[in-house]
Chain A
């Protein structure tokens, strides 16, 4: 049972509409607007662009994409979009709840 994914699912839901960069485990980085996320942390991005030199030419005709949560390495966010204090408090609360 995914324990803390409820927390990060809510966190990502609050970031819908913001611009993010998703780095995949195959080193491909995709920049785009966060359209939606689900309980598996699958991500849908719109208006995407491949940030690194286009070693991946197949992406040229793609504007929107669905990324499977299992292949994500990082999701890069601008610092001013994240309230780290809130996130820390939420994580602490989750951890306490799990202990019980």
Chain B
């Protein structure tokens, strides 16, 4: 039941399993327990899901309070639409290792880019925002 028809509200999403994408690039999955006008969220039985390529790993995190300004998007997980055939779940150690390798590779290319630009007398100014998504 919506008190103001046509108005986006998270009231109907309460107690359902959700995925939230944060501005720092993290993905959290859990049950949405509480909301407010700033889209601050309280997540229960939260799991941090790390994706690297087609692999993913889940780290249990307990209860999370997310400040609304960090939310990119919030999606209701449809249990009928689970995708076990495409993605492969691996252990926490493995996914953290994969993530470390991915970060390393990214830093290498970034460093090469910066050096190449420096050689040409150019520089990219440091980004003001810390958004990593």
Contact = CB atoms under 8 A, between A and B. Distances in A.
Interface stretch (B73-81, B108-116, B118-126): B73-81
A62 B76 contact: yes
Interface string B68-110: 1101111111110111001100000000000000000000000
Contact of A42 (B8, B13, B23, B75): B8
Given A36-B6, A58-B19, A58-B27, A68 B81 contact: no
Nearest to B71: A68
Nearest to B81: A61
A71 B6 contact: no
Secondary structure type dominating chain B contacts: mixed
Interface residues of B, number: 34
B65 interface: no
A48 B27 CA distance: 18
A65 B73 contact: yes
B73 A67 contact: yes
B31 interface: no
Given A16-B6, A26-B72, A61-B82, 11 more contacts: A13-B6, A26-B131, A36-B2, A36-B7, A42-B39, A60-B86, A63-B78, A65-B73, A65-B75, A66-B13, A68-B39
